[in-house]
Amino acid sequence: MTPSRYRTRPVAAPGVVSPRARAIIRRVAAPWVRLCFRPTLSGLEHLPASGPYLLVANHSAGLAVAEICSLMAVWQAQAGPERPLAGFAHPLGLRIWPASAILAGVGAVPSTYDAAREALAAGVPLLVFPGGDHEAMRPVWQAHRVDFGGRRGFLRIAREMNVPIVPLGIRGSHFTVPILWRSRHLLPWGLLAPRLLGVKRWPLTALGVAGLLGLLLGPGAAWSLPAQVLAGAAWLTSPLVCLPVVPATIRFRIGPALSPEMLFGADGAGRDGTEDAVLDRALARVEAAVQAMVSSAPRPPR
């Protein structure tokens, strides 16, 4: 059962980008990402010619604003509307405006088992970031490390629906939001606001530290201590600290598809028949495939 706070209205057209959203991507998002991030997309030939699949990628840069906008821009430019792709989005995002309007416009679906089954059964491929906040909020010195945090739900979906997994490696986006520390307890619980929003991890970013120092040493230094504490906490929990501030080049590279037989065995049970062992081997193989795409992504010309 999906918790009631995560239930959303069914998505009318999973994977279908509305004409209005396409216009915004073309006129607003595309020029911005071309100027700041110069994204490239390679490996489209590896996508299955027909039928649903899971496009599984590493996740980066806090709220991944630069990453997602860049991918939408290059996907629309190179793959086009004839290749629909429904992004998995946190269910809360589909309930809170304006995120709900944006996600609905690009055909995103809530990241639940039911929504995944419905989209795949309708023949719509899904874009999945299994690492979620665990991976997106890793420190900047782990920028090129693929780590799904042991999460295997996407593998259960792929096995149940008998669809291939296509690895997508993303390189460079993590530098757009330099993260200094990833916290699962101190920041989410100490600042409280992230936990109230259902976020389990929260980052300490370079922008967050810079803003905090400005509050402590700038004009805000004349405030009372309680006012400084409240202002500092509000700033550190604001989504603004996760905005991209570094114009790093972003590369997307798609690798060869991994069939259900390759991942789970011809009978879906694997060599020893235990579900945990099968999923662990499949997870290691998918992580390795995505890591290979990240590590081999072409470097920008000097």
Over residues 25-66, the pLDDT tens digits come to 999 999 999 999 999 999 999 999 889 999 999 999 888 899
Over residues 161-203, the pLDDT tens digits come to 999 999 999 999 999 999 998 877 666 555 555 555 566 778 8
> So what's the pLDDT on residue 5?
46
> So what's the pLDDT on residue 171?
97
Contacts 24+ apart (CB under 8 A), 77-80: 77/30, 78/41, 78/44, 79/41, 79/44, 79/47
Task: Supply 222's token pair.
Answer: 């004349």
Return the domain boundaries, the chain.
Answer: 4-177+247-295, 179-242
pLDDT of 6 higher than 50:
no
Contacts 24+ apart (CB under 8 A), 263-272: 263/155, 263/158, 263/159, 263/165, 264/159, 268/159
Nearest partner of 58 among 165, 5, 136, 110, judged by Cα: 136
Over residues 235-278, the pLDDT tens digits come to 888 888 989 999 999 999 999 999 999 999 855 454 556 888 99
Domain 4-177+247-295 maps to which CATH number in 3.20.20.70, 3.40.1130.10, 3.40.50.10300, 3.30.70.20? Answer: 3.40.1130.10
Type of residue at 34:
R
